[in-house]
Each structure stands twice: as C-alpha cells, then as structure tokens.
Chains A and B, each alone.
Chain A
Amino acid sequence: MNSYYLINLLIYAAVDAMACLGLNQQFGVSGVTNFGFIIFQAAGGYAAAILALPNQSANGGFQSYIGGWNLPFPLPWIGAAVVGGLIALPFTFLVGRRLRGDFAAVGLLVAAVLLNLLATNYRPLLDGDAGLSLIPGPLGGQFSLQSSRYQWAFAAGAIVVCALIYLFVRRITESPYGRSLRAMRDNDVVADSLGKNLLSQRTAMLVTGGAIAGLSGGILVSYISTWSPAAWGYAETVVLFAAVIIGGAGNHLGAILGAVLVPVGFEEVTRYIPTSNNLPPNLIPSLEWVAIGLLIVVFLWVRPQGILPERKRVIKAAGLPPLGPASSGPASFSPASSGLGPAGAMPEGLAPARPMLTSLGTASAVPAGRSAGSATAGSQPAGSGPAEPASLRTPDGLPPHSPQAAARPGPANPGRWPADREIVLAVVGVSREFGGVRAVADVSFSVRRGTMTGLIGPNGAGKSTLLAMLAGTLPVTSGQIFYQGHDVTRLPAYRRARLGLVRTFQLASEFKRLTVMENLLSAVPGNRGDSFRGALAGRRYWRGDEAAAVARAQAMLVRFGLEADANSYAGDLSGGQRRLVEIMRALMTEPRVLLLDEPMAGVHPNLARRIGDELAALCAGGLTVLMVEHELAIMDEFCDPVVAMAEGAVLAEGTMAELRSRSEVVEAYLVG
C-alpha cells in the first residue's frame, strides 16, 4: 500500500464522514429527510471552485464560469460552507409544519434531479456537463501539490475539519436543543403542541446540514481539482442515506462508521474486482448500485437502528447541585427560581402552583426573555423577585394569577364557582368541516379560570376536533377562539403552547425514542440550552437551567409514581404509563389551560382517580383544565361544569347531575 493510496483513502473517508454527519444531523437526529442532500455538497464544491479559480479566461479559456476570484485558502472552504448553508434557505418552505415529511422528501429529490439537469445543460454558469477543472488546491502557490508532505498535510487537515464537525454536531445534539430536535423527529405534531417551532428548528437543521455538506464539497473539490454534474447525481444522496442507516441513524459515530463502510468501502472493494473483457462495461457499477439498494432494504428490515444505534441518554436526578438564583435563567421563565427550592420541597413546586404568564403581552416577551438569557441572573429586573416574576406584567388588567388562587374554594366542593369567574378560554361560533362534513358546527362556550371543565359526548361528536382547534393543531373553518381575552384563532399551535394553552392527544403521543425523563424535559420552556445559539454556547451555559428542569421533572415523576421508569424509553412503557407521561409532560410546560383528550383512557381506575386528584389540586392552584373523557365516573367526581356535545354541536352545559336529568343528553349518549 503506497502512501498516495492511503492519503486518497483518508481524504475520501473524511469528506464522506463530514457529509454523513451533516445528513445524520438532519435525518437521524431531527427527522428532516433531505433527499436532495447532494445539492448542498454540489453547491459547496462549485462555490469553492469559483472562489479559488482565476478568471475564466485563464488556462486558455476553455471553461466558462461565473466568478473566478482567485481567492487564497481558506476562503474557498469558508465560502463553500456559507453557500451550502444559504442554498438551504429556498428549500425551507418545503419543510414547514404543513407538508408531510415524505412529500417534502420527494420535493427535495426532484430538486436534486432537476438542478443536476440544469447544471448539465447550462454552460455559462458552471461550464455545463464538462464541469470545472484545474481547480487550485489550498496554498498551491507556496507548496508543491504533488509532494508527499503536502498530501499528508491535506489529509490531516481534512481529518481535523471532520473531527471539528463531529464535535459541533455532538454539541448540538447533546444539548436541550438537540432534545427538542429529537422530539420533533419522533412526533412533530406533538412537539408543535408543546411549543417547539418546527419551521425554525427544521430551517436551522437544513442550513446546518447544508453548510456541512457544502464544506465537505469544498474540501473534496480542492483535493480532486475537478467538479462536474456527473459527480453529484441524485443517487449519491441515496449512498449517503445508506451509510447513515447502516451506521446508525441518530448516532454520530455511527454516521462516521457508515461513511467508512458504504461510500469508501464500496470504492475500495470494487478496486479489487479484476477487470475482465468478458464482462459488459457497465456491469460492476450497476451491481454496486443494486448492492446499495439491497443494503438499505435489508438493513431497514433486519436492523433498522443500524450498527451503532442511537444511545440512551441516562439522566441521573440524584446528587443535584443546590439550586441558587445564580444557576437559574431569566426570572420569568425559570421555575426553579420560584417554586423549586431544595429537593425536599419539590412536590409543592409543581408547575401550576407557581406564578405563570398572565397575558399575551408577557408571553410575547418569550424570545426576548430567552435572548436575555445571556445576561447573568444578577441582572434581572430588581422588582421581579423570584416569588412572583410574572405578576408585575399584566397589561390586560386581569388579576395576576398567583399562588393566592389556592385560597379560593377548592374543587373538593364542586359547583360552587361564582358565575362571574373570569373567562380564560372562550369559543365563539367555531366550526370545522372535513370535505363537506361538519365535524364541529358553530360551537360556542367558555371555560372559567380554575375550573375543571368536562367535555362529553358520543363518538364522532367533534370533541377531539374541537380540542385540536383550541390548541391550534387544526385550523378552524370559521369562528374565533379567545384565550385570556385575546384572539388566538390564527396563532400556530406552538405559540399557543408558549402562552400556556397546552393540549394532550387522544392517541399515544409520547416521544418514543426519548426516555421518560427526556420526554418531560423536552416540554420545559425557557431552557437557555433550548435554542441553536444556546446549544452552541455549550453545556456550561445551560447546565443551570438543565439541572433545575431535571429537578422539576424528578419531582413530577415522584408525584405521579413513575420515578423508577425515569430512564426507560417512553415507547417501551405500558399504555397507562404512557398516558401518565403525556400528562406529566404537558404539566412540565407550565400550562395555564390544559386541554386533555381522554387522559384516563386505558388507565387503571385507581391511577385515574389519582390523576384526577392531582389535577384537582393543581386547579386549586390556578390551573384550568378542559377534559374530554368517556368515563363518566371521572366527570361526576371531578368536573364541573360539564359540556355535552353531539353531532358537532353543544347540547347542554351544567353539572353532571343536571345533564343526567336532561333527556336530550341521555338520548344522544344512548342513541347517538
């Protein structure tokens, strides 16, 4: 094995590993299936080429291209990364909340096919199908590009860049932000309903992955010194996907292993196949593609988690550092600074017992509060002591919601609410049509603060649809929704969640490949590490918030008796336990109004009662609950008032005892 061969191998391995890391960050970690990944590598390659090349009239003018700035190293590589990232932006409209992931993937695949076609046919831009050649290598003026020392240095440089990218993606993935990305991967609708901005997260991942791909393309181009459309056919993306799937999607070391096994491995193995004149010319390359296709299908069947599966993130709650003000984030968003003191006080420190956001005005300060997180805790506004940070900001004039609410009559004696209790959620003439069928027809009612309002009705009455519209998961066909006096009808789900209007789902909706603890942590708002910048700032920047969140989650787990399963994958739990995880996770968002869709379905009656008791206690602390439930015993015991729906409309409203006495309600249930 001569050294050129080894150098060649190392550089290709490094470039492929970079690309696989970028793809893994998108696909394995964030669930963004980018079938057009190769576009970004191609863009980086071209960018590096035209930045490094002299003007097109040089070299005898046999190529035509734009640019030709003749820039010195490392500008072409930097430019490659920048262009790779920028070119991702036009594609973000495909990955927003509305489009199915597989449709978006098809769109990106088609984009790859057609951009390749365009680059092939249009010569003036990037020299068409002939492609660019004689691209100068880095520092070509100072060193002899063919010398062994230069080549070794190039290989070492490529490996160093690859290692840096590994550290970079690991830093993102292992942060609270990475957890949000993985939550989005496991279930994007649920992540949306918990306050994750899917569009922003996906855009960040498209750009990040694009920049990494671009850089890998730039490095490759400056090594091989040519770049043409033949080098980046759409099928090259499939090779990278094969590598990530085989290595282990979601595990960055797996992605590197996959890069070594698939793109590099195939290149090397075919090198040893003797070329024979008896074979048709295209046979070996064709069979290579067949083998890659087979590898994908077989691996997805036999070992879908890959050779190195995503590892479990075990979070130990014991031995937490004491939580002082210094370790907490912005006052308005750090539960730890208010309710949660030492670990012993945890059960009292549950979310709704602490002051919460009281208005849109406060809540719209969320991003500001986050960016202010870079300030030290000592610079918090002097007036906002840890006890009641949000209560100072109630521009809508509503009485601030605070622990004093606990002094009001508790749910132990239901039906005694004064009718003038402030309305926290108002539904005005809301309708929803599905292809001509009116699932919800002109529904109006309101929910008063601190109540546990029930919503009953036969199957198909439109209860879940209504809940989905309230939370913003489904748009309304007509009508308006007011939350704390503000029209939220057009607000997307994640923004409503950030305002404290949070839902759970009728069907199991846990993040399967997150542990129970991670499921809970994923919902905590305001973690400094739960943003791209926060993640990049590193563990020291967010570990205070993280520790506080872990303490809260641990308290929640203790309270609901699930602490033994804290580090189990949520997808491995029983049905009842998963419901519980979902309720706990919703509570972790510090909701003001909690919309529960059949929270007790499949839950053992004893546990259901316990959940009910806990919710009742939280309502006493100021939480408002709107609960869809078929178990009328639960309604009898906990809910007042109860709204009865049938065939998309509200039939009646009152206590359960009142509803039982009304014939049309009973009839709807029995007949409908």
Chain B
Amino acid sequence: MASFGFGLVTASVLAIAAIGFTLQFGVTDVLNLAYGAVMIAAAFIAYVINQLGVSVWIGLVGAVVACSAGSVLLNAGIYAPFQRRGTSPITMVIVSLGMTLIIEFGVQAIAGGTSVSYTMSQGPTVTAGGLILSTVQLVVIGLSVLVMIGTHVLLRYTRLGKAMRATAANKTLARNCGIRTGRVITITWALTGALCGLAGVVFAMDAGSFDATSTDLFLVLILAAVFLGGPGQAYGAMLGAVVIGLATEISAAYITPDYKYVIAFVALLVMLGVRPTGLLGASQ
C-alpha cells in the first residue's frame, strides 16, 4: 500500500511534466528533449532562492516564472529560428539534444556535481484509506490535480485552448482561419515552460536530494507517459502518467527498485513499435 502512495506521488509529478511536454510538442512541433534539463534548472533556481532563507514554496513560484520566461526565450532564440529555416524534425531533435547538454551541464558547472536538498518541512503525515502521505506529498498531488483540471478547462472552454488545439491539428489551416499561430505558440511555450518549472521543483521535493543529472532518467518516464497516451495528446499524457507512475513504483516494491524504469522503457518501446500514435491517438 505504501508503494501505491509513492506511485500516486510519482504519477502526480509525472502528470505535470508530461502534460507540459506533450502540449509543447503538439502545439509547437518541437520534440524538446531539453525539457528534463529545464526541469532540473528549475529545481536549482528554487534551491538558490531557498538558500537565501526564503520558503521553498516562494522558490517554486520563482522557478515557475523563470522557466516560463526561459522557455519562451529558448524558443525565440533557438528553436523558432531553426524552424523558420525549414530545419527537419530530426535536426530539431539534435538541436534540442545540444541544448540539453548546454543547460544540464551549465547547471552542473554552476552548482557543482554534488547533491543538494531543499530546507523544508515535510509537514505532518496524513493517513487516509490506508495511505500514509506527508503534507508535502498531498500538496504535490493536489497541484497535479489542479494542473489536470486547469488543462481540461483551458483546452475545452477557452478561446486560447481552442486556438492551441487548432494550431496543433493544422498550423497552416489555423493561421488561415484567423488564429495568430505565432502568438499561440509563444503562449504555449510560456505555459508549458511554467509546467516544466513546476514539475522540476515538485520532482526535486519528491526526490529529496538531487543533482544536475537527476532528470536524465525522469525524462525517460516523461517520454514513456507521453508516448503511451499519444504524443500531443494532453489527456493521453494524464493517462500515461498515472499508468507509468503507478507501474514503476509498484514494480519497484514487488520486484526490485533497481529496475523500476524498465517497465517504462518497455512500455515506450512497445508503443513506438506497435502504436506510435498512442492509446488515445488516432490510429493510422
């Protein structure tokens, strides 16, 4: 049962990250592998603010704002110019891999190679229905639920959300219908950057201690969740996050923690090989 609790927390962190990743890819058409690097940058921004003697929750807000702005800049400065030039998707992935190295090891160069932790209280533990969770874990789960609801409301009921879905479905057509796709894409980078920042900080809280390379493996989980649900599918990412999050933690409890990522890996490869459009994606 404890593993179910862990799984719930992992799934929550994963859902925030995967929703951001999948929206980013769906709307902007950039398979941004630097997402994990931006997450860890967020974790360290919150850490720096935390070290100044401020609550880590203030740090979280700072990291979210910084990553939102940083993602917009990353697109405006790097990805958008490459895309305007007609760079192929595969070259875009290579560019994003280059950016991964720059950001991740840039963080490591500044922060050093050692693991750090936030100064924070886990709060009183809460027991509910056989689950034992700390207040922080409950907050993380709550944040994740809020993000999911927010995503649903955004995509279903707002003009911006509809514009995002239209842009994701067919950018040229959306532009011809009067949607300012350039602006929609910029806003998407800001939103998904914010989600990425949030995911980075809650990931660091959940992990306890972290260093600059901590999100390398977490990126695998994100990719597994995203591809399980179907790349570009926000609801698919939610489903994928829950499945992958629970599956990894429960398998860690019952098999061995060393191999908990193997399930995610197998899920990802099976999806790529059998149904690359994902469980919720359109069939080919």
Contacts and interface: CB of A to CB of B under 8 A. Distances in A.
A293 B81 CA distance: 17
Given A107-B269, A114-B262, A297-B95, A282 B101 contact: no
Interface of A: 31, 33, 35, 93-94, 98-107, 109-111, 113-114, 117-118, 121-122, 234-235, 238, 241-242, 245, 280-283, 286-290, 292-297, 300-301, 304, 434-435, 475
Which 6 residue pairs of A and B lie closest in terms of their CB atoms, listed nearest first?
A293-B101, A296-B98, A282-B113, A289-B105, A293-B102, A286-B109
A110 B268 contact: yes
A475 B90 contact: no
Given A98-B276, A102-B89, A297 B282 contact: no
A241 B112 CA distance: 26
Contacts of B269: 94, 107, 110-111
Q: Which of B33, B82, B109 has the most CB of A within 10 A?
A: B109
B78 interface: yes
A31 B89 CA distance: 12
A109 B31 CA distance: 13
B69 to A, nearest CB: 20
B28 interface: no
B102 A286 contact: no
A226 to B, nearest CB: 22
12 contacts: A94-B273, A99-B273, A99-B276, A102-B89, A104-B272, A114-B261, A289-B104, A289-B108, A290-B101, A290-B102, A292-B98, A297-B78
B97 A238 contact: yes
Interface in B101-120: 101-102, 104-106, 108-109, 112-113
Contacts of A304: 91
Given A94-B269, A289-B105, A293-B99, A114 B89 contact: no
Contacts of B33: 106, 109
A110 B108 contact: no
Interface of B: 31, 33, 78, 81-82, 87, 89-95, 97-102, 104-106, 108-109, 112-113, 212, 216-217, 220, 223-224, 227, 231, 258-259, 261-262, 265, 268-269, 272-273, 276, 282, 284
Q: Which of A107, A111, A121, A294 has the most CB of B within 10 A?
A: A107
A113 B217 contact: yes
Contacts of A292: 98, 101
Contact of B272 (A31, A107, A290): A107
Secondary structure dominating the interface of A: helix
B259 A118 contact: yes
A1 B146 CA distance: 64
Contacts of A475: 284
B101 A106 contact: no
A322 B182 CA distance: 59
A294 B90 contact: no
Contact of A110 (B98, B223, B259): B223
B105 A286 contact: yes
B93 A245 contact: no
Given A100-B276, A282-B113, A294-B98, A106 B223 contact: yes
Contacts of A106: 31, 33, 93, 223, 272
Contacts of B91: 300, 304
A102 B112 contact: no
A193 B70 CA distance: 43
B130 to A, nearest CB: 31
A84 B272 CA distance: 23
Given A33-B94, A286-B105, A300-B95, 17 more contacts: A33-B93, A99-B276, A107-B273, A110-B220, A110-B265, A110-B268, A111-B269, A114-B265, A234-B216, A245-B94, A280-B113, A283-B109, A283-B112, A289-B108, A290-B109, A292-B101, A295-B98
A99 B272 contact: yes
Contacts of B284: 98, 475
A26 B227 CA distance: 25
Given A106-B33, A290-B105, A290-B106, A113 B113 contact: no
Contact of A297 (B31, B102, B109, B113): B102
B109 A282 contact: yes
B101 A33 contact: no
Nearest to A434: B282
Contact of A33 (B81, B90, B227, B262): B90
Nearest to A235: B101
B216 A113 contact: yes
Given A99-B276, A110-B268, A300 B109 contact: no
A281 B272 contact: no
Contacts of B82: 300-301
Contacts of B95: 296-297, 300
B89 A287 contact: no
Given A93-B273, A296-B98, A102 B105 contact: no
A196 B102 CA distance: 39
A297 B273 contact: no
Contacts of A121: 258-259
Contacts of B87: 300
Nearest to B98: A296
A51 B112 CA distance: 39
A98 to B, nearest CB: 7
Nearest to A241: B94
Nearest to B266: A114
B81 A297 contact: no
A118 B273 contact: no
A475 B284 CA distance: 8
Contacts of A118: 259, 262
B262 A435 contact: no
Nearest to B211: A282
B272 A117 contact: no
B92 to A, nearest CB: 7
A297 B99 contact: yes
A297 B231 CA distance: 25
A35 B273 CA distance: 16
A35 B90 CA distance: 11
A393 B112 CA distance: 74
A98 B108 CA distance: 38
Contacts of B224: 110
Nearest to A284: B109
Given A238-B101, A293-B100, A294-B102, A114 B220 contact: yes
B93 A102 contact: yes
